[in-house]
Structure 1
Amino acid sequence: MKLTETKLKGAYVIEVEPLTDERGFFARSWCQKEFAEHGLNPNLVQCNISFNLKKGTLRGMHYQAKPHEEVKLVRCTMGAVYDVIIDLRSESSTFKQWVGVELTADNRKMLYIPEGMAHGFQTLVDNTEVFYQMSEFYNSESATGLRWDDPDFKVEWLIKQDLVISEKDKSYPLIEITNLFITELKGY
């Protein structure tokens, strides 16, 4: 595997290194030992799949607050997504900055998202599937999110019209209005 750190410390784009022959290829997509050697959390306890019918579906920006913060390892197994993370770690030099990475079934890239980051994605084609591996079990009391279009973050989504967004994701408050980073970020 090839691990390349993004501008957000601790967040990595991971690329498989295929061994090819006449049959196709074989590649490792996760290795507990290799993750630990790079200082990444190697504990994965849950896997989820998100299937999305329409191009322009936007899910996010989600995270689990302390004490149930989680690492996510995300890969697009069918179709294509623009995967976005926002650094919520107040002690980080990249606090409130974001990174977007195109993950596709064809490029087989993955995004390693450390604790303390909000995550979301936008589908770039119809019938897109995303596979998640998480370091913590889902905890509904810690599950929360930020507005996908909050002007404090200035995320530049690739598709701007005909978006499909859940009412829950639309209802997350703007940071400016709630002053969330001062009062409610729960330890980040």
Structure 2
Amino acid sequence: MKVEALAIPDVKKITPKRLGDSRGYFVELFKDAWFRQHVADLTFVQDNESLSAEVGTIRGLHFQTPPFEQGKLVRCVAGALVDVAVDIRKGSPTFGQWVAAELTPETGDMLWVPPGFAHGFATLKPSTIINYKVTAPYSGEHDKGVKWNDPAIGVQWPQFEKTHLSAKDEKQPLLAELPDYFKI
């Protein structure tokens, strides 16, 4: 596996090695010891998957607060998406900054989004499926978010004819309105 730090070094793009021939390919997606040594010494406790039927679906920007803060290891298993991580750790030199990576089944790339980051994605193809491992179980009480198009963050989302959002994501607060959930 290859690991690459993005412009915010705590966020990593991971490219698993594929072994292929005329029949297809084989890939090791996750190796606990490798991940702990090269990315983060954390334990994953749950796998999640979601299907977004329409191009232009935006989900996020989501996070969970302590003690249920989540790190996420994200991959796209069908379709294509732009995956976004926003640093929401007060005191961080990259607070309020974002990074993104395009994830597709063809490349097999994954994105590591550590705790203290808001996460979201936009679908580039219909019937996009995202799968991600998390380091803490879901807790509705600790489920929070920040507005997907907050101008103070300035995520450059792909342009779509129509954007599909949940009612929850339309009403998320701005970054400036968030309490200090995460501090460095």
TM-score range normalised by the length of the shorter chain = over 0.9
Q: Deviations over 1:114-167 (max 9, x none)?
A: 110000000001111000110100111111000000010000001244000001
2 CA distance for matches of 1:56 and 1:169? Answer: 14
Q: TM-score, normalised by structure 1?
A: 0.92
Residue equivalent to 2:180: 185
Equivalent pair of 1:85/1:117 in contact (CA under 8 Å): yes
Unpaired runs of at least 5, structure 2:
none
Corresponding position: 1:36 with 2:31: no
User: Which residue does the alignment assign to 2:112?
Assistant: 112
The 5 Å alignment of 1:117-156 reads: 117-156=117-156
CA contact (8 A) 1:87 1:97 kept: yes
SS in 1 for 2:34: helix
2:173 match: secondary structure: coil
Cross-structure match for 1:24: 24
Percent identical residues:
37
The code of the aligned residue for 2:60 comes to G
Q: Which residue identity is paired with 1:24?
A: G
C-alpha distance in 1 between matches for 2:117 and 2:22: 41
How far 1:66 sits from its partner (Å)?
1.3
TM-score normalised to the size of structure 2? 0.94
Per the alignment, in what secondary structure is the counterpart of residue 115 of structure 1? coil
The offset of 1:39, in angstroms, is 4.5
Instruction: Classify 1:160/1:23 alpha carbon distance in 2 versus 1 (closer, same or farther; 3 Å).
Output: closer
For the 8 Å contact 1:41–1:135, the answer to whether it is kept is no
Q: Aligned-residue CA RMSD in angstroms?
A: 1.3
Q: How many residues are treated as equivalent by the alignment?
A: 183
1:84 positional shift: 0.5
Query: Deviation above 4 Å: which 4+ runs of structure 1?
Result: none
Assess if the C-alpha contact under 8 Å between 1:85 and 1:113 holds in 2. yes
In the aligned structure 1, how far is the partner of 2:155 from the partner of 2:66? 24
Please say which of residues 85-94 and 145-154 is displaced more in the overlay.
85-94
**What's the counterpart of residue 164 of structure 1?**
164
